[in-house]
Amino acid sequence: MNTGLIILAVAALALAWRYGRGWLERTLEARAQAKTAQCVFIKLRVSDEPAGDPEENARLLRLEALIDQVVEAAGVGELDGYARSPGFRTFHLYGPSADRLFEVVSPGVAIFEPRLGSVAILRYGGEGAEETTV
């Protein structure tokens, strides 16, 4: 067997162990934190039009920017985006405290004047954790 090839393989394994182990530990830690992160889902009732009402869509974009800014400025978590479903737009926020996230974003959401049927869901942990609907 080629000695150079064996040395190269051992060096590659050593590098993978040295640097890959830290990456793996950080990845596993991030996943554990994500499972325990608290969430706020702001589910806004919107028009039933497939593409949405243009004026309403513009207001939702402004609301998204506002939510992102206040969450970042307060340092309480992050806006992870939104999902569209028929008649609803749901913003997804994550951070260490669902109550604090909601406290920070609710004034901005109130300015939007949500329609009847809009709710905020506060989840106090990962999947299956206790939830409160506001």
Q: d(Cα 21, Cα 24) in Å, to the nearest integer? A: 5
Whole-model pTM over 0.75: no
Supply the pLDDT for residue 27: 63
pLDDT tens over the chain, length 134 residues: 577 777 777 777 766 677 776 766 776 666 555 555 899 999 999 987 766 788 888 999 999 999 999 999 999 999 998 898 888 999 999 999 999 999 999 999 998 889 999 999 999 987 788 999 99
> Which CATH code, of 3.20.20.60, 3.30.56.10, 3.30.70.100, 3.30.1490.20, is assigned to 37-133?
3.30.70.100
Supply the pLDDT for residue 43: 96
**CA 82 vs CA 4, 14, 64, 66: distances in Å:** 53, 42, 9, 14
Domain boundaries, the chain: 1-35, 37-133
Q: d(Cα 19, Cα 37) in Å, to the nearest integer? A: 27
Q: To the nearest 10°, the Cα dihedral for 35, 36, 37, 42?
A: 80
- Residue (of 49, 36, 16, 66) closest to 130 by Cα position: 36
